[in-house]
Copies of this chain bind each other. A is one copy, B any other.
Amino acid sequence: MSSSAQIDAVVSGVGTSGFGQWPDLGAPDLAVEAITEALADAGVTAADIDAAFVGSVFGAPGVANRALAAAGLAGVPTIRLEAACASGTVAFHEAVESVRHGRYERVLALGVEHLSSVFAGPIVPEASDPEGAAGLAMPALYALQADRYLHQWGHDPAGLAAVAVKNKRHGANNPRAHLRTPPPSLEEVLNSRPIAGVLTLLQCCPMTDGAAAAVISGTASGDRDVRVLASTLSSGAVWGAGSDAPWGFEAVSDAARTTFQSAGLEPSDVDVAEVHDAFTIGEVLTLEAIGLCPPGQGIELAPSGHTALGGPQPVNPSGGLLSRGHPLGATGLAQLAELVWQLRGDADDRQVEGAAIGLLETMGGGAAGVDGNACVVALLGAPQSWPGTGGQ
């Protein structure tokens, strides 16, 4: 599905807006914050950008042009992409592919979402989909996954709540996170307001406005450039309702398998990961699909400390979607920004010591468990490092 790289792509700079809810701002305002920081971080100006790949889910037609014009990039060839929750990561992937194949030399990847102006309640699948027709909002869909998973492997819901405890502890150290409340205890997570099935309020990501951006270049020009070791876009097959497997994670496992093969790496090589934890069960199923552990054991990774800061493979040191928030189209590039900071050693109180290999994963579902979905998995290498040589 992915093709081999002709040119090494690097992430030269990243930037984000703050993450939160700002009803009085618009998508362009948030985009300006992210773009300005990313260009400065890369040491380039708008004139150095050959094209822009922009991910947004609910942004109105023209949102990409409006966002870029506000940041002084009007006139740059603009490609706007939508892949539900994976929109920002698809923008990253398309930017990387454009550089790898020699189409452009240096491009901007931008993700932007202003959910405050779109939704008052939870996001519900299209009414024309079976889930939408049944009134199933996203928390309910994930709750059904959780029920199936806990039943299948005989686990206790407390293992899911431990994911929220971990990620909220991480997020408390992230000054850009949407939710920076003192981290809750396991009991507080379990006893928070019921939302759907076993999923309580603190196990669900908030509705967040935000933007994130990255400058992707075809040649490393500085010792701060983070290498894109491999990146794969996978779209899932239709999920069979009779399947024993939880909804739609074949796209994740397919993308991960191809990405590790392309990079010549194994899941055990990953030092730090940012993955799609819109709901606690999502992180558990994702880590299994990626291959960090065998099926059925993902629920043990947070309680054991394996995926906590200080553990061997910290996951979502930014706080993840559960704490930083989930500004849909911006999420993938916010995840990328965290990994870049981690791989440069710039993550302050959240730093994973000696992080040399980072993994990025976002899945775009919508109601696409029925109709297919999208996933991007990428592996990133610390500046001036290469697998085997370290970078530590």
Residues of A within 8 A of B (CB): 1, 3, 6, 26, 50-51, 57-58, 60-62, 64-66, 68-70, 74-84, 90, 94, 97-98, 101-104, 125-126, 128-129, 233-238, 364-368, 370-374
Contact = CB atoms under 8 A, between A and B. Distances in A.
Contacts of A98: 97
B368 A62 contact: yes
A60 B126 contact: yes
Given A62-B365, A77-B233, A79-B83, 16 more contacts: A1-B50, A1-B51, A26-B128, A58-B61, A61-B82, A62-B125, A65-B366, A65-B372, A65-B374, A66-B126, A66-B372, A69-B238, A78-B374, A81-B82, A82-B82, A97-B98
Please list the 6 inter-chain residue pairs (A to B) with the smallest Cβ-Cβ separation, ordered nearest first.
A62-B366, A101-B101, A74-B372, A75-B237, A69-B371, A65-B372
B83 A83 contact: no
Contacts of A370: 69
A373 to B, nearest CB: 6
A71 to B, nearest CB: 11
B126 A78 contact: no
Contacts of A97: 98, 103
Contacts of A125: 62
A1 B77 contact: yes
30 contacts: A6-B102, A57-B61, A60-B126, A60-B366, A61-B84, A61-B366, A62-B125, A62-B129, A62-B365, A62-B366, A62-B371, A62-B373, A65-B366, A65-B374, A66-B128, A66-B371, A69-B238, A74-B235, A74-B236, A74-B371, A75-B235, A75-B372, A76-B235, A77-B234, A78-B83, A79-B90, A80-B81, A80-B82, A81-B82, A101-B102
A74 B238 CA distance: 6
A79 B51 CA distance: 17
A372 B62 CA distance: 9
Contacts of A74: 235-238, 371-372
Nearest to A235: B78
Number of this chain's copies in the assembly equals 2
Contacts of A66: 126, 128-129, 368, 371-372
A283 B308 CA distance: 60
A113 to B, nearest CB: 11
A77 B128 CA distance: 23
A66 B103 CA distance: 30
A64 B372 CA distance: 9
Contacts of A58: 61
A101 B69 CA distance: 28
A69 B372 contact: yes
**A6, A58, A62, A70: residue with the most chain B Cβ atoms closer than 10 Å:** A62
Contacts of A126: 60, 62, 66
A59 to B, nearest CB: 9
Contacts of A68: 235, 372
Contacts of A367: 62
A104 B62 contact: no
A65 B368 contact: yes
A56 to B, nearest CB: 8
